[in-house]
Chains A and B, each alone.
Chain A
Amino acid sequence: MKRLIFSYAQKGIIYVLLLILGFVYLYPIIFMVTTSLMDMEDLVNPTVKWIPTSLYFGNFAIALKVLDYGKSLLASLAMAGLPAIFQTISCALIGYGFARMEFPLKGLWFAMLIFSFLLPAQVTMIPKYIMFNAYGMINTPLPSLLPALLGQGIRSTIFVLIFYQFFHSYPKSMDEAAQIDGANTWTIFLRIALPMSIPSIVVSLIFSFVWYWNETYLSGIFFGRVIQTLPMKLQAFVDSYSRLYPTSDGSTVNALNESIRMAGTLLTIIPLIIFYLILQKQFVESIDRTGITGE
């Protein structure tokens, strides 16, 4: 009995702690939603802290325009979707090679694979820029697509390891049976290994998509002047706003306020949140598939 009460108390404490933590986690998002729905009056009214007196959607109309939403949404989808597909294809191949074949210097290459994860992208950025510039690839999507296709995209190492782990653990007898039936390695990879690895493919696709979507540092330098994704547009929000709504005449009617900026931020992450709501289970269960916790 005493033990039962104790365990209930323990559960209660954990519950409260988790709720507080959950609030801290969601605080910026709650702040974003409520602030973006406030009109000018609510924003300056000190008695209105959280709940707007009326729902005002004007901020979103302005933010949609400033972000050039339709165009930059398409750019974001393309510049996240294509590298994600390319990265998944290359990492599946590479992971299969490392997992199922024995070849000289395998250990060395594997070590280099880990090393390339640890190396900050800032170090290789400038020579890459010079290289892409020499081939006229700056301001095209190629500086993002080519590394993805060659297993050097954003955190490619993690995805290679996910595929490595998967192909390493599935029974080799499947391959051998196919081999006896006369299938060559390529057919085995395409017809047997790949269809079985769909869970790994999903993990690789969705994480690549999210990480490419959120990347602005390299892509801003490589093609930011021509292709503007949503996060890049958000980065330039203040500038774009003042170009669309100049306040040079000194009036404060058009002044940029935090409600509009929060509406812009919310619009930038909404596609990702929808994506997450749909695939939430896949995201959260992904860690188990990496195999880093050992089997």
Chain B
Amino acid sequence: MDNAKAGNKKRLTLRKRNAIEGYLFISPWLIGFFLFTAFPFFYSLYLSLSKVNITPQGITAQWNGLSNYIDIFTKDIEFVPALIDTVIFVGLSTPLIIVAALLIALMLNSQFKGRSVFRAIYFLPVIIISGPVMSELINNKAINIIEPTRYSIYQIFKTLPLNIGSPIIYVFDNMVTILWFSGVQILIFLAGIQKIDKALYEAAQIDGASSWEIFWKIILPDLMPLALINAIYTIVDVATFPNNKINVEIASNMFKTGNVYSYSSAMSWTYCLIIFVILGIAFLILRDRRSES
């Protein structure tokens, strides 16, 4: 009895010690999180609702209500087009990147010589992609792999109704960009495909299922959670890419005279909310439905 009590007590202190040590280990993150993420997150909301003045004593912020938000939507002629441009870029690129990554991963999954070379080539852009390099490539027409205007098929798509034709033209115009953003996603899908139990395929094959059926009934459902991870990664990756019109806009308005800090805070908060909406949509589309039924 006494022994058990002593043991209990010892376990309790062990648990306490474990908790203290746990907090010690994550303390760098805790400090960093409050200092560089949580506090700035709320402070930029506060700034976006204020009018900021820089005085010799430091900066002063005056409550300004929603006027910054109203201004960026009604008075700023650049913000709304930049926002729409970026939303189209994120919204169209993400599904295209996911589909391209899935198809490439499926092809890379089969056994053949030189597989690792292809894998290395497809991953290379992840290493070299950066804002300035992309701008140089675009400015010098290094990514215009096909000059679509020269082909008559491009003209045919142009005559289609806008909502059908424009996404196709978008794919042509942005082919290299879409592929260059899909390196990590390919590897994630590839790792997922290789983890699927081979016995499942064999059983399906014996039952007479075609490769087509195996893809839709076995591979794709199994990859859905990874598709969600890939979608989230893609949205975050593409949305924060420095060349996006909206990111350029936020940076260039940071020191806007008469409205320093607060004006572009309102922009960044608006943008952040929209990105969260896009993330939410991706989550709703790709969430694991099997567990619900």
Mark A residues whose CB is within 8 Å of B. 10-11, 14-15, 17-18, 21-22, 24-29, 31-32, 35, 90, 93-94, 96-98, 100-104, 106, 109, 112-113, 116-131, 134, 146-147, 149-152, 160, 185, 189, 210, 213-217, 221, 231-232, 234-235, 237, 258, 261-262, 264-265, 268-269, 272-273, 275-276, 280, 283-284, 286-288, 292-294
Cα A127 to Cα B39 in complex, Å, equals: 8
User: A126 — which chain B residues lie within 8 A by C-beta?
Assistant: 40, 44, 47, 254, 261, 264-265, 268
User: A293 — which chain B residues lie within 8 A by C-beta?
Assistant: 188, 191-192, 195, 226
Cα A149 to Cα B31 in complex, Å, equals: 10
Taking CB atoms and an 8 Å cut-off, the chain B residues in 1-59 that contact chain A are: 15, 18-26, 28-33, 35-41, 43-44, 47, 58-59
Cα A78 to Cα B108 in complex, Å, equals: 36
User: B275 — which chain A residues lie within 8 A by C-beta?
Assistant: 118, 120
Mostly helix, strand, loop or mixed at chain A's interface? helix
A-B contact count (CB 8 A): 264
User: A109 — which chain B residues lie within 8 A by C-beta?
Assistant: 26, 29-30, 33
Cα A90 to Cα B31 in complex, Å, equals: 12
Are B130 and A215 within 8 A (Cβ)? yes
Asked whether any CB of chain A lies closer than 8 Å to the CB of B70, the reply is: no
Are B110 and A11 within 8 A (Cβ)? yes
User: A217 — which chain B residues lie within 8 A by C-beta?
Assistant: 131, 240, 242, 247, 251
Cα A26 to Cα B225 in complex, Å, equals: 30
User: A123 — which chain B residues lie within 8 A by C-beta?
Assistant: 40-41, 44, 268-269, 271-272
B236 CB to closest chain A CB (Å) equals: 6
Are A120 and B271 within 8 A (Cβ)? yes
A224 CB to closest chain B CB (Å) equals: 11
Asked whether any CB of chain A lies closer than 8 Å to the CB of B128, the reply is: yes
Known contacts A21-B179, A147-B36, A287-B187; decide if A221 and B28 are in contact (CB<8 Å).
no
Taking CB atoms and an 8 Å cut-off, the chain B residues in 136-187 that contact chain A are: 136-137, 139-143, 145, 175-176, 179-180, 184, 187
Cα A101 to Cα B225 in complex, Å, equals: 27
Are B33 and A116 within 8 A (Cβ)? yes
Asked whether any CB of chain A lies closer than 8 Å to the CB of B92, the reply is: no
Asked whether any CB of chain A lies closer than 8 Å to the CB of B83, the reply is: no
Cα A147 to Cα B21 in complex, Å, equals: 22
8 closest cross-chain pairs (CB), A and B: A150-B32, A97-B25, A101-B22, A214-B130, A103-B22, A127-B40, A124-B40, A217-B242
**A124 in complex: contacting residue of B41, B176, B179, CB < 8 Å:** B41
Asked whether any CB of chain A lies closer than 8 Å to the CB of B116, the reply is: yes
Chosen A-B contacts, 19 in total, with CB atoms closer than 8 Å, are A27-B176, A90-B32, A97-B26, A100-B22, A116-B37, A118-B232, A120-B275, A122-B268, A124-B41, A126-B261, A210-B126, A216-B130, A231-B133, A232-B132, A262-B142, A269-B133, A284-B123, A293-B226, A294-B225
Asked whether any CB of chain A lies closer than 8 Å to the CB of B285, the reply is: no
Known contacts A25-B179, A293-B191; decide if A120 and B140 are in contact (CB<8 Å).
no
Given contacts A109-B30, A123-B268, list 20 more A-B pairs with CB under 8 A: A24-B175, A25-B176, A25-B180, A102-B19, A106-B22, A112-B38, A122-B272, A125-B254, A126-B261, A129-B254, A149-B32, A150-B31, A150-B32, A152-B35, A216-B132, A235-B135, A237-B136, A269-B133, A276-B127, A287-B188
**A272 in complex: contacting residue of B127, B139, B175, CB < 8 Å:** B127
Cα A56 to Cα B157 in complex, Å, equals: 41
Cα A276 to Cα B125 in complex, Å, equals: 10
Cα A116 to Cα B119 in complex, Å, equals: 30
Asked whether any CB of chain A lies closer than 8 Å to the CB of B102, the reply is: no
B243 CB to closest chain A CB (Å) equals: 9
Are A265 and B25 within 8 A (Cβ)? no
Asked whether any CB of chain A lies closer than 8 Å to the CB of B276, the reply is: yes
Cα A237 to Cα B40 in complex, Å, equals: 33
Cα A126 to Cα B225 in complex, Å, equals: 35
A119 CB to closest chain B CB (Å) equals: 7
Taking CB atoms and an 8 Å cut-off, the chain B residues in 180-235 that contact chain A are: 180, 184, 187-188, 190-192, 195, 225-226, 229, 232
